[in-house]
Amino acid sequence: MKQEFTITLDHVEYPIVVDGDTITVNGRPFVVEVAEDGTVLIDGISYDLSVGEEAVTVDSETYPYQFAGLAVSAAVAPPTPLRGAPAVAVAGTGAVLAIMPGKIVRVMVELGQEVNEGDPVCVLEAMKMENELNARQGGVVRAVHIKPGDDVEKDQVLVEIE
């Protein structure tokens, strides 16, 4: 059954479409599964996730959220990770995040590339300054969610490394 609603995380609204095990956030699809140990896999990356009535906790970080366009009563828990999607807005340990809103100037990595901790990943222009963003860990580039010219929001996942 296909569902459409909006979720607000940190005062940013995200349109959500849930169709089976695919959750689309801001037009970007994610495949979401629950592993046997209870962790949530989003595009194959594992997250420890718990959903409460007003907040979601992902890998020990808690994020308040609100739903719009989704009927949730006090007697019924919010959507489960397979039906909800709060976790897609937060990042795993290997994710490179936008440090502030801005525009992507350069992308220095590509899918499948090996990187070391500290390697430059992309350049974000904000307030007329260029900020080089670096890999937080070594590994293989699992996903590149940006291209030069893209406008990004603070804490948006730009590149995933595992």
Q: Can you list the residues of the chain whose pLDDT is less than 70?
A: 1, 10, 38, 67-93
End-to-end Cα distance, the chain: 32
Task: Please report, for the chain, how many H helices and E strands are present, in that order.
Answer: 0, 17
pLDDT computed for residue 5 by the predictor: 81
Residues 78 and 107 in one domain: no
Last residue of a domain, one of 46, 73, 89: 89
If one counts the domains in the chain, the total is 2
Residues 33 and 85 in one domain: yes
Residues 80 and 107 in one domain: no
Sheet hosting strand 40-42, strand order edge to edge: 45-47, 40-42, 28-34, 22-25, 12-19, 2-9, 61-68, 55-58, 49-51
pLDDT computed for residue 11 by the predictor: 74
Residues 82 and 112 in one domain: no
Q: What is the pLDDT of the chain when averaged over all its residues?
A: 78
Question: Domain range for residue 20?
Answer: 2-89
pLDDT computed for residue 120 by the predictor: 94
CATH number for the domain that contains residue 138 = 2.40.50.100
